[in-house]
C-alpha cells in the first residue's frame, strides 16, 4: 500500500514541479513568453523575405536558381521556428493548467534540470530516448 501511494504521488503534477520554486516557474514562464515572441517575429520575417524573393522575378536562370534555394532555406527555418513556437505555447499552456513538468508520455516528472535547460520539454529523458531512432555510428 505504501509503495502504491509513493508511485501515485510521483505521478501527480504538483510533485513534478516541486523541485522548481514559484520564482523558477515565473522565470521559465517569462522566458517562454519572450521566446514565443521571438519565434513569431522570426516566422513573420521569413514569410516577408520569401515574398520579397517572389516579387523580384526579373532574373536570369542562375539568379532564379539562387532565389529558389534561398526561399527553400527560409521556408525550412520558418517551419522549424513554427514547430518550436508550438512547443513553447504548449509549455505555457502546461504552466497555466498545472501540468508543467509532467511527462506527456509516462506521467512522471520531467526533471527540474531538464526544464531549466529545455523549458519547452514535454517528455522526460527516458521517454525521449526511447522514442528517438538509434543513432548510426
Task: List domains and CATH numbers for the chain.
Answer: 2-131 (1.20.120.910)
Handedness of CA 98, 83, 53, 51 (dihedral sign): negative
Cell of 95: 504552466
Q: What value does the CA radius of gyration of the chain take, rounded to a whole number of Å?
A: 21
Kindly report the pTM of this predicted structure. 0.75
Nearest by Cα to 117 from 91, 80, 93, 97: 91
**Rounded CA gap, 60 and 77, in Å?**
26
pLDDT tens for the chain, 137 residues long, are 444 444 444 444 444 445 788 899 999 999 999 999 999 999 999 999 888 877 766 666 667 778 888 889 999 999 999 999 999 999 999 999 999 999 999 999 999 999 999 999 999 999 988 876 656 55
Amino acid at each position: 500500500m505504501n509503495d502504491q501511494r509513493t508511485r501515485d504521488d510521483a505521478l501527480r503534477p504538483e510533485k513534478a514541479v516541486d523541485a522548481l520554486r514559484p520564482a523558477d516557474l515565473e522565470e521559465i514562464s517569462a522566458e517562454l513568453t519572450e521566446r514565443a515572441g521571438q519565434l513569431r517575429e522570426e516566422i513573420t520575417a521569413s514569410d516577408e523575405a520569401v515574398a520579397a524573393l517572389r516579387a523580384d522575378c526579373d532574373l536570369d536562370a542562375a539568379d532564379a536558381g539562387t532565389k529558389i534555394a534561398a526561399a527553400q532555406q527560409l521556408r525550412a527555418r520558418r517551419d522549424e521556428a513554427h514547430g518550436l513556437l508550438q512547443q513553447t505555447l504548449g509549455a505555457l499552456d502546461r504552466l497555466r493548467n498545472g501540468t508543467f513538468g509532467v511527462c506527456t508520455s509516462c506521467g512522471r516528472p520531467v526533471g527540474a534540470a531538464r526544464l531549466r535547460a529545455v523549458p519547452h520539454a514535454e517528455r522526460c529523458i527516458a521517454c525521449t530516448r526511447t522514442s528517438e531512432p538509434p543513432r548510426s555510428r
